[in-house]
Chain A
Amino acid sequence: MSVPQWPAEFEEILQRHLPLSDGPIDGSALLADLGLDSLGTVSLVMELEDSMDIAIPDDLLVAETFTSADSLWAAVSSLLEGAAAA
């Protein structure tokens, strides 16, 4: 199990969309195995954008981004870093 490197806010948002998750999210676990479906994916995107004040570009809205918490955090953190540098 990989050690989460993300803030609590990200973990809390993600947890709300993983109905099969039990306990802290393993960064390498497949989000689909934790219950993330297509409806949940869109809902998750909307909540991440609203709560973390980011706009996820279309080129990141692909299945690979939502494979695991690690892959999703990689996308989100790059956007947060870009916003902070701007």
Chain B
Amino acid sequence: MRPVYLSAVSYVLGDETPLSGIDDETLQQQAPTLYGQGLKNCRVTDQPAARLAADSARQTLDTVTGRTVDAIVYCTDTAPDKTTTGDVWDFLLELDLPATPVTVVGGAGCGNLVSGLQAARNMILAEDAATVLLVTSDRVKTGTRYLDNGQTALSDGAASCLVSAEPHRQAFLLRGLATTFRVDIGTTAVRPIAVARATTAEIRKAIRRVTEPLGICPADFGRLLTGHYARTALAFLAMSAEVPVERVYCPAVAGVGHCFSADALISLVALTNTGEIADGEHVLILAVSPRSWSVAAATFAGTRGEPS
């Protein structure tokens, strides 16, 4: 199969705000628990999601010669400010890319990143595009920022990257992508053990779909990149993924909060900027919603662009 790479990851976030400083009754009730679980701040802005998307995408495009791409995948689960189409037009105009085709991806909540990667990768494999800009952007417009499922605080922000046939600097080779859905499992409030079992089973199913064709197992991943959740939720995800909890990598959880589907890309930036990842190291991205579980396996191709 033709190699597909992920690179040029960028992100923008709302203003860093202590949980205690947010006018949100539900969040305030849960704040002591969240602090005890590793959360500290979340990110808040009144900027539209399309503007956040454009601000992040602009940084990613700065790495591309001519600042053009063949296609854009725009991931969001945030209700549009105008209409979905109207927001996309605003986004394209902000980027000065008025003639670039866009595909909007949603429906997997905070797992939209992997759905977006699937769409972008398929464009590359179909040779419809050589370079695709992927952006995921969301913000809280109404309701509480407290997210019971994952025990976390939602943040406003966007992240973006290139998905391309040719490797760029600090690229990751996309090895496999999979998503499973179960919208019939009920709620944790009514049947917590059954929901947890279904979640674990679906995560393992998604991971097997990725690892078995590659002939690797969960223990081969040096890092598990998940959403920014409470410590207990991270431990649960690690157990479900059959990856040692020590390999969970989400260094920005305290300062960023849970930025929807952008979290894993934010962690990738930290991983490459700090030099904590070695050429050829495998990372497993696990991006989940309460009813869907998305997995991406990637290998760091380093500065040369090819995995060692």
Interface residues of A (CB under 8 A from B): 38-39, 41-43, 45-46, 56, 58, 61-63, 66
Contact = CB atoms under 8 A, between A and B. Distances in A.
B193 A39 contact: no
A42 B197 contact: yes
B201 A46 contact: yes
A24 B192 CA distance: 29
Question: Chain A interface secondary structure, helix, strand, loop or mixed?
Answer: helix
The 7 closest A-B pairs by CB, nearest first: A61-B194, A61-B193, A58-B194, A42-B196, A45-B197, A42-B200, A42-B197
A39 B241 CA distance: 13
B89 interface: no
A29 B196 CA distance: 24
B16 to A, nearest CB: 31
Interface string B57-73: 00000000000000000
Given A58-B191, A62-B191, A39 B197 contact: no
Contact of A66 (B191, B193, B232, B239): B193
Given A38-B196, A61-B197, A43 B239 contact: yes
A41 B193 contact: yes
Nearest to B192: A38
A13 B201 CA distance: 18
Interface residues of B, number: 15
Nearest to A62: B193
A45 B111 CA distance: 25
Nearest to A56: B197
10 contacts: A38-B193, A38-B196, A39-B232, A39-B239, A42-B197, A42-B200, A42-B236, A45-B193, A46-B200, A61-B191
Interface of B: 186, 191-194, 196-197, 200-201, 204, 232, 235-236, 239-240
Contacts of A43: 200, 239
Contacts of B201: 46
Contacts of A46: 197, 200-201, 204
B235 A39 contact: yes
A39 B236 contact: yes
A24 to B, nearest CB: 25
A35 B49 CA distance: 45
A41 B191 CA distance: 13
A41 B84 CA distance: 42
Nearest to B238: A39
A58 B197 CA distance: 9
A38 B240 CA distance: 13
B291 to A, nearest CB: 16
Q: Which of B193, B194, B196, B240 has the most CB of A within 10 A?
A: B193
Contacts of B232: 39
